[in-house]
């Protein structure tokens, strides 16, 4: 069994995001870039399935500029067998990403595709669902537990009402939630081994992917600064202030 894992590079979750002075985007120069946390969880789950003997081949794939290779080497150091880098200088939106991943599916013929439920840079939570629809295969999103039995996957999902357990036939798309697992720590010997693992580069243009980038961002702005709080003597004064501001 082969597992394909989406492995997006984003601004590290510990970095305080700064908007460029001209409002054209966010500052990324000199900023730490890391794997999307949900994608680290997706890769960890694929590796655990391989360790259980369910899978034999784990392939990580990313879509991004040439300097994403260091990011992919991180995935290889974590334990992936191979990596695929779809090279593009442009940021892609979810539909384009899903169409690109579909091209990789046609090439690799995986039994399971595991993605993070969303990326922390755009928080779209769309690529996995779009990919399942384009691939015409089942999807199990927001997974907090995954069990594979032959050609079936039993997935416990985190939903608004609590937990939901579903079964889907393979091949299928699974997207991961935070409580699925704890990604492993990468050791130095694994980093050294990753340098010799296969990493294939494919220009995005060569895949003949129809663009799905229909949204245009015209301006970025930082959230408004919070104003200072006001101390009130009693409930009556609080209600009076809220009325003055038109909030009640």
CATH number at residue 179: 3.40.50.620
CA-to-CA distance for 81 and 96, rounded, in angstroms?
25
Q: Report the pLDDT averaged over residues 38-55.
A: 96
Is 44 a residue whose pLDDT tops 90?
yes
pTM of the shown model: 0.86
Would you state the pLDDT for residue 149? 93
How many domains does the structure of the chain reveal? 1
Is 167 a residue whose pLDDT tops 90?
yes
| Residues 196-223 pLDDT 10s | 999 999 999 999 999 888 888 888 888 8
| Helices 94-108, 127-135: crossing angle, 10 deg rounding | 50
Query: Which range marks the domain in which residue 50 is found?
Result: 2-244
Alpha-helical (H) ranges within 52-178 are: 69-78, 94-108, 127-135
Is 146 a residue whose pLDDT tops 90?
yes
């Amino acid at each position: 069994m082969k597992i394909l894992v989406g492995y997006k590079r984003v601004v590290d979750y510990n970095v305080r995001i700064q908007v460029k002075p001209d409002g054209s985007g966010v500052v990324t120069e000199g900023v730490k870039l890391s794997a999307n946390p949900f994608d680290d969880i997706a890769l960890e789950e694929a590796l655990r399935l391989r360790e259980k003997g369910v899978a034999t081949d784990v392939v990580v794939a990313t879509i991004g500029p040439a300097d994403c290779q260091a990011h992919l080497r991180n995935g290889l150091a974590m334990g992936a067998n191979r990596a695929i880098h779809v090279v593009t200088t442009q940021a892609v939106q979810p539909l384009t990403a899903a169409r690109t991943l579909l091209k990789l599916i046609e090439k690799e013929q995986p039994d399971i595709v595991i993605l993070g439920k969303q990326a922390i840079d755009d928080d779209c939570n769309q690529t996995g669902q779009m990919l399942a629809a384009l691939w015409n295969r089942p999807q199990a999103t927001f997974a907090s537990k995954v069990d594979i039995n032959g050609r079936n996957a039993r997935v416990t999902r985190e939903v608004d009402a609590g937990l939901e357990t579903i079964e889907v036939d393979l091949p299928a798309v699974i997207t991961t939630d935070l409580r699925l697992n704890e990604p492993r720590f990468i050791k130095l010997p694994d980093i050294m081994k990753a340098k010799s693992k296969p990493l294939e580069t494919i220009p995005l243009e060569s895949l003949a992917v129809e663009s799905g980038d229909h949204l245009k961002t015209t301006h970025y702005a930082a959230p408004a600064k919070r104003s200072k709080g006001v101390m009130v003597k009693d409930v009556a004064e609080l209600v009076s202030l809220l009325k003055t501001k038109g909030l009640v």
